[in-house]
């Protein structure tokens, strides 16, 4: 029998309560699903498409009973410390449900059709305010699927800009990579490649370089000896001066292993700006999660972190994440660019008359400045969360995250069984430099080899296993809006104490 597949809109609160109840029940079990729950869910997945479908009720039951128990609690628990995951702030969650229900396609600015593009543009302005950037220069950009996509936009705009400038210097006008392609412009300009110069860049930068025809090997580290995150300005100068290449400089504003910053104050950024101007290079900032430190007022407690993202207004483009520190649901990132026209030189959806909006353009159509054409209304959760929390709400959230990280770092520093990385002899300096990530290892080799798996097997908290200077290490990244400093400190120290006590070497 063919079921009734005609849908009508139904009111009532059953949908929301079903989902919330499932979340509450999931929240009561461990941070990761048990092996049993995973096994059960895998066995419950269908082997083939059913002809008539099992129907709405059966599908919901299957999802809640079979699948949800096999999810992790990445955003439902404040003790999930993997990657930089971020939680979901309440207003953002509400808005995200609105996004799905109303399913606006935010691609063309059509004023008479929907307010969606206006809201997206407004949300971008609020975000620029939160990050203390000047609207005059920075209220220009777009929402993306994440910082990876934002890095693609940044390198794409940079590639366009630096190659055009290099070609113009040789008397070739209107040399657009977007228009003529990389090969033709490169050849006309007599160049052999584009390089991206950085220090400890996030892996997504290499992905962006690969996708844009720059190439992964052309993402190069130019670190200071003894401090792999700081730029060696002399080496940078030498690379920028090469006559066969054009360059993009990318600043790691928040390095993903340590949470530290590649620059330390306005002078560093000014020096990078000067070098980029001198050699016609593009200055990009990857601030996926680090950029959030700009939201603080002047306070001694967070001064070292604020210094790490000072001066990024001197950049040409900035990549950021929404689903990390902004605590909106996946997926959401943002891209800001000081050059109003650059993104459309690359990403315009040219020659589609049916997608054209009115002649007078106050807001650019997102499909002309980003990767996608049809797009989710991912700006609404950002809008809702910024509206609901304001600056002080976000400051409070970030403060709790940093204070917990610093408390854990200090405790680990004093611990006989653990070492905080990168190693340092000063506890005060360590605490002051700690953002919301704590990188550490166990002193005993045997314990260290299995440390992350032992921690995660408790199901009480989750950490990312990583490597630091060739040895295994663990990473606690605190990014959830649900952090409670005292409660979570008690849990983390209890887990780590018990594991070191249980493991005999
Ligand atoms: C997380 C991260 C990215 C990639 O972001 P996605 O949201 O996973 O696309 C890029 N750069 C840095 C520094 C990051 O931390």
> Residue 283 is inside which H or E element, if any?
strand 282-286
Using the predicted structure, report yes or no on whether residue 1 has a pLDDT greater than 60: no
In this structure, the dihedral spanned by the alpha carbons of residues 423, 425, 428 and 433, taken in order and rounded to 10 degrees, is -30
In degrees, rounded to 5, the angle at the alpha carbon of residue 289 between the alpha carbons of residues 283 and 291 is: 55
Widest pairwise Cα distance in the chain: 75
What is the token pair recorded at 505?
A: 């070497």
* Mutation to probe ligand 1, out of 143, 208, 256 (largest number of atoms < 8 A from CB): 256
Q: Output the CA 316–ligand 1 centroid distance in Å.
A: 19
Cβ neighbours, 10 Å, residue 25: 12
Share of residues in the chain with pLDDT > 70 (%): 96
Question: Which residue has its alpha carbon closest to ligand 1 atom 5?
Answer: 147
Q: What is the pTM of this model?
A: 0.96
What is the CATH code of the structural domain delimited by 389-502? 3.90.1150.10
The tens digit of pLDDT for each residue in 138-169 reads 999 999 999 999 999 999 999 999 999 999 98
The tens digit of pLDDT for each residue in 352-387 reads 766 666 545 689 999 999 999 999 999 999 999 999
Question: Is 364 exposed, middle or buried (CB count within 10 Å of its CB: 0-12, 13-18, 19+)?
Answer: buried
pLDDT band at 233 (very low <50, low <70, confident <90, very high): very high
pLDDT, mean of residues 448-472: 95
What mean pLDDT value characterizes the chain? 94
d(CA 290, CA 434): 12
> Residue 463 is inside which H or E element, if any?
strand 462-468
Q: Output the CA 148–ligand 1 centroid distance in Å.
A: 6
pLDDT, mean of residues 192-217: 98
Q: Are 192 and 245 in contact (CB under 8 A)?
A: yes
What is the CATH code of the structural domain delimited by 117-385? 3.40.640.10
Question: Which residue has its alpha carbon closest to ligand 1 atom 12?
Answer: 288
Candidates 301, 264, 265, 258; CA nearest to 423 is: 258
pLDDT band at 27 (very low <50, low <70, confident <90, very high): confident
d(CA 418, CA 108): 54
The CATH 3.90.1150.10 portion of the chain extends over 389-502
Using the predicted structure, report yes or no on whether residue 228 has a pLDDT greater than 80: yes
| Whole-number pLDDT of residue 189 | 92
| SS3 labels along 109-144 | CCCCCCCHHHHHHHHHHHHHHHCCCCHHHHCCEEEE
Question: Which residue has its alpha carbon closest to ligand 1 atom 10?
Answer: 147
Strand order in the sheet with 418-421: 80-81, 462-468, 471-477, 437-442, 418-421
Decide: helix, strand or coil at residue 289. Answer: coil
Using the predicted structure, report yes or no on whether residue 504 has a pLDDT greater than 80: no
Question: Which residue has its alpha carbon closest to ligand 1 atom 3?
Answer: 147
**CA-atom Rg of the chain in angstroms:** 24
| Whole-number pLDDT of residue 93 | 96
d(CA 318, CA 285): 5
Residues with CB under 6 A from ligand 1: 84, 146-148, 202, 204, 254, 256, 286, 288-289, 321, 333
Share of residues in the chain with pLDDT > 90 (%): 88
The CATH 3.40.640.10 portion of the chain extends over 117-385
* Mutation to probe ligand 1, out of 84, 147, 312 (largest number of atoms < 8 A from CB): 147
Q: Which residue has the higher pLDDT, 1 or 275?
A: 275
């Amino acid at each position: 029998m063919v079921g009734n597949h005609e849908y009508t809109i139904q009111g009532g609160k059953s949908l929301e309560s079903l989902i919330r109840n499932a979340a509450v029940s999931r929240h009561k079990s461990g941070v990761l699903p048990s092996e049993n729950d995973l096994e059960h869910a895998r066995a419950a997945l269908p082997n083939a498409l059913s002809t008539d479908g099992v129907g709405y009720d059966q599908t919901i039951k299957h999802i809640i009973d079979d699948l949800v128990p096999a999810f992790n609690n990445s955003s439902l628990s404040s003790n999930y410390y993997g990657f930089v995951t971020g939680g979901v702030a309440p207003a953002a969650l509400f808005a995200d449900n609105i996004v799905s229900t109303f399913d606006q396609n935010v691609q063309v600015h059509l004023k008479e059709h929907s307010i969606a593009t206006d809201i997206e543009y407004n949300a971008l302005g609020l975000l620029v305010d939160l990050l203390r950037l000047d609207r005059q220069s920075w209220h220009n950009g777009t929402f993306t699927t994440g910082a990876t996509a934002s890095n693609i936009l940044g390198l794409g705009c940079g590639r366009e800009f630096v190659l055009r400038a290099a070609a113009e210097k040789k008397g070739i006008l209107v040399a657009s990579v977007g228009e003529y392609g990389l090969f033709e412009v490169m050849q006309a300009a007599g160049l052999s490649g584009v390089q991206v110069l950085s220090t400890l860049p996030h892996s997504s930068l290499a992905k962006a370089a690969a996708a844009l025809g720059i190439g992964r090997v052309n993402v190069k580290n130019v670190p200071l000896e003894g401090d792999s995150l700081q730029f060696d300005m002399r080496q940078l100068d030498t690379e920028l001066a090469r006559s066969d290449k054009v360059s993009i400089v990318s600043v790691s504003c928040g390095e993903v292993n340590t949470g530290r910053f590649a620059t330390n104050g306005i002078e560093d950024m000014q020096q990078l700006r000067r070098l980029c101007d001198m050699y016609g290079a593009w200055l990009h900032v990857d601030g996926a999660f680090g950029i959030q430190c700009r939201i603080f007022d002047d306070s001694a407690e967070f001064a070292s972190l604020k210094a790490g993202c000072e001066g990024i207004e001197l950049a040409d483009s900035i990549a950021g994440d929404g689903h990390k520190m902004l605590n909106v649901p996946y997926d959401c990132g943002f891209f800001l660019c000081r050059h109003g026209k650059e993104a459309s030189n690359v990403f315009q959806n040219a020659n589609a008359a049916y997608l054209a909006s009115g002649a007078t353009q106050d807001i650019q159509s997102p499909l002309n400045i980003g990767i996608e054409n049809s797009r989710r209304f991912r700006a609404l959760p950002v809008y809702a969360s910024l509206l609901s929390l304001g600056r002080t709400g976000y400051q409070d959230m970030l403060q709790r995250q940093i204070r917990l990280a610093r408390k854990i770092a200090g405790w680990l520093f004093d611990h006989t069984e653990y070492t905080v990385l990168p190693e340092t002899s000063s506890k005060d300096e360590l605490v002051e430099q700690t953002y919301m990530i704590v990188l550490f290892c166990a002193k005993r080799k045997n314990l260290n080899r299995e440390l992350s798996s032992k921690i995660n097997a408790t199901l009480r908290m989750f950490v990312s296993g990583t490597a630091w200077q060739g040895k295994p290490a663990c990473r606690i990244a605190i990014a959830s809006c649900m952090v409670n400093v005292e409660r979570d400190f008690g849990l983390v120290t209890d887990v780590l104490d018990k594991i070191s006590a249980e493991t005999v070497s």
